[in-house]
Amino acid sequence: MSGLKLERLNPSVKAATVLTCVVLLSFQYLITLNLAVFIAALLLLMFFSEARWGRLAALLVPALIGAFGLFLMGLYYARAPGDLPAGNDAVLPGLAHVTLMPYAVRAALSRNLTAALQLATRLLAYAGLGLLFSLSTRGEDFVLSLMHQCRLPPKFAYGILAAFNLMPNMARELRNVRTAFAVRNIHAGIFSLKPAFTMLVNSVRWSEAIAMAMESRGFDGSGAGRTYYTVPSVRWYDVAFALACAGLILCGMAFLT
């Protein structure tokens, strides 16, 4: 099983596959298919990737909260098809006026339950696909794949990589600035711009140093005649993964109800 890792897939093909699946899911309202995609994405991450389960669980919390919020919104405010006459824009009374029943009974009897489940499960399916890509793809590999497979200009690719690698330094510099302010008894609240301004000044200096270092090594932004330490390529299992994902979703749209 060690050879069947999602990290081995080409990042550009993986991104295109996820986007294709998202577009396909946007044309359907099948609750079972949405749940199947969400569960399949979690299983792939747990058993066929190097993603840590703790990080996966932490990232699932906002998705579950958002899905629950959409479920409640759809439960109370969605309109069931055929319940309103043509041209009537009034919102269905839904559950708001049925206050004597327990909440579970009201939810079960709601005419909006199907619409609420459609909204919530679609968000979960999108979240599962997003986590499938983000937790199994390194940022550097994705940028290199965009440069070699999608013809992203090297000056943009290396600019993105430089900014990506500067982010930890910026966070550390912000903490150092806040500590220096506290030592000097300078009050800086959570939303104060003073530490951020000092951090940005240092970031500009770092960016200038990086630009000078790249120019001194002959980087002109064109990439012509240069060699690369890592050159991503598209292999047969990348194509098989893309076709399998798209094909399974199309089959689910055709046969699931």
Condensed to tens digits (0 to 9), the pLDDT of residues 212-224 reads 887 777 776 666 6
Q: Is 188 exposed, middle or buried (0-12, 13-18, 19+ CB in 10 A)?
A: middle
Query: Averaging pLDDT over each range in 61-65, 153-157, 222-226, which range is the top one?
Result: 61-65
- 181 CB-near residues (< 8 Å, 6+ apart): 187, 188, 194, 195
**What average pLDDT score do residues 141-148 get?**
91
How far apart CA 76 and CA 99 sit, in angstroms, is 13
Encode burial over 224-243: b for 16+ CB neighbours within 10 A, e otherwise: eeeeeeeebeeeeebeebbe
Q: Which of 81, 109, 82, 83 is nearest to 95 (CA)?
A: 109
How far apart CA 252 and CA 125 sit, in angstroms, is 13
How far apart CA 147 and CA 233 sit, in angstroms, is 11
Which region among 82-86, 133-137, 149-153, 238-242 has the lowest average model confidence (pLDDT)? 82-86
**Amino acid letter, residue 145:** S
Locus of tokens 């998705």: 63
- Is pLDDT of 94 > 60? no
Residue 79 confidence (pLDDT): 53
- 78 CB-near residues (< 8 Å, 6+ apart): 92, 94, 112, 115, 116, 119
How far apart CA 127 and CA 60 sit, in angstroms, is 8
How far apart CA 160 and CA 143 sit, in angstroms, is 8
Give the three-class secondary structure for 48: coil
Give the three-class secondary structure for 196: helix
Residue 240 confidence (pLDDT): 95
How far apart CA 215 and CA 149 sit, in angstroms, is 25
Residue 218 confidence (pLDDT): 73
The dihedrals phi and psi of 243, each to the nearest 5 degrees, come to -65, -35
Give the three-class secondary structure for 44: helix
pLDDT class of 92 with cuts at 50, 70, 90: very low
pTM of full prediction above 0.85: no
Length of the chain: 257
Residue 217 confidence (pLDDT): 73
- 80 CB-near residues (< 8 Å, 6+ apart): 92, 111, 112, 114, 115
Residue 111 confidence (pLDDT): 61
pLDDT class of 87 with cuts at 50, 70, 90: very low
